[in-house]
Amino acid sequence: MEDDPSKYTANLPTPGIGVGLRSPHIKEILATKPDIDFFELLTDNHLAEGGHARQHAYAIRQDYPVSMHCVGMSLGGTDPIDYEYLAKIKKLADELEPACISDHLCWTSFEQKHAHDLLPLPYTEEAINYVSERILQIQDFLKTTLVVENVSSYLSYECSTLNEWEFLTTIAEKSNCKILLDLNNIYVSQYNNDIDAREYIKNIPLNLVAEIHLAGFEDKGTYLLDAHNHEVSTPVWELYQEVMMHNHSIPTLIEWDNDLPPFSTLMKEADKARQHQQSAIIDNTKIHQDNFSLA
């Protein structure tokens, strides 16, 4: 099959609401065909060529668009790019034809040992140039526009010369990638590092945002843990409403990875997201009408 560079772009249904695909829910999803616009696969769980996981991915893809969410590209890591890993992703992507492929703005390995955690980067010019170049190379190999997610953080570096939104936006502009804006991660980082979440989202050019993630955190008292094991919290819904007021067509994913509830709970969260989208459309229509009548 010849590679067609235009074949893959960040192309989720718009406006669309999706949920993360998790193995305990798959039987129910295949049997009931729920009313959802897309599913997001945790790519690394489906890379093994044998077993249920791959078969499930194919089955879901028959009925729904999917996005492939990765955790192992180590976009900011100082190890060489792992082309063996990327080749596996590309093979799966050739089979599934996902709407988009995403990973995180972080590092996950050092000297070929893996953290299996999303480790934070310093916000420096050196890191911007380094990470942007890596993203360009990865996009060139995968023949797709990568969608890069902001991670939650529990620290900031003394040597950082920029704030996070400047770092994220500059990398997106330099590498022509898109942004996966995780609003829960912004809120968690706000709490842990005294940053202003509203200022953050105000300064993200929404035309660069291909997808939004919504998830729940765990309150540890002195800090919030990005555990993806609770419902989306009220302050995060408020941030989401604010984004929707400016662009209600950005595809949105409900992410729940741990302490999985029944699938119906995820669908309820998806319905809430839809309601926020609809309410933003109505509010924007009112504003437009008011402005029209004043003119």
Partner 1 sequence: MSQLYNIQHQFWNSLRSLQADSNCAQLFSPGGKLSQQERLNIYRSTMRTAHTNALAQTYKCCEKILGEKYFKIISSEYFYQHPAINQNMNLYGHSFPKFLKKWAQNHTELLDYQYLSDLAMLELAYEKSYYAKEDPLFDFISLATLNDGDHQKLCFKLSASLFILKSSYPIHEIWLANQEQEHLQEINATQEPQYLCIIREDLKPIIHEIDQTYWMTMNKIQNHTALAKMEDFSSQEIFGIPFKNIIPDLIQRKWICGYYLVAD
CA–CA separation, 101 vs 110, rounded Å? 23
Contact 186, 239 (CB under 8 A): yes
Does 132 interact with partner 1 (rule: CB under 8 A)?
no
Site string for partner 1, 138-177 (x = CB under 8 A): ----------------xxxxxxx-----------------
Buried-state track 87-107, b at ≥16 Cβ within 10 A, e below 16: ebbbebbeebebbbbbbbbbb
CA–CA separation, 102 vs 68, rounded Å? 6
Which one of residues 14, 23, 32, 55 is an interface residue with partner 1 (CB under 8 A)?
A: 55
Q: Which stretch binds partner 1 (CB under 8 A): 69-77, 140-148, 249-257, 282-290?
A: 69-77
Contact 206, 236 (CB under 8 A): no
CA–CA separation, 169 vs 209, rounded Å? 10
Q: Nearer Cβ to partner 1, position 44 or 238?
A: 44
Helix pair angle (125-142, 164-175), 10° resolution: 40
Q: Nearer Cβ to partner 1, position 14 or 55?
A: 55
- Residues 234-273 contacting partner 1, CB under 8 A: none
Does 113 interact with partner 1 (rule: CB under 8 A)?
yes
Q: Nearer Cβ to partner 1, position 163 or 284?
A: 163
Contact 133, 170 (CB under 8 A): no
Residue 223 Cβ, how far from partner 1 at the closest point, in Å? 6
Does 80 interact with partner 1 (rule: CB under 8 A)?
no
Which one of residues 49, 97, 140, 290 is an interface residue with partner 1 (CB under 8 A)?
A: 49
Which one of residues 2, 50, 62, 295 is an interface residue with partner 1 (CB under 8 A)?
A: 50
With a CB cutoff of 8 Å and minimum separation 6, the contacts of 156 are 120, 123, 193
Footprint on this chain of partner 1 (rule: CB under 8 A): 44-45, 47-52, 55, 72, 76-78, 82, 85, 107, 109-117, 119, 121-122, 124, 126-127, 130, 154-160, 192-194, 222-223, 225
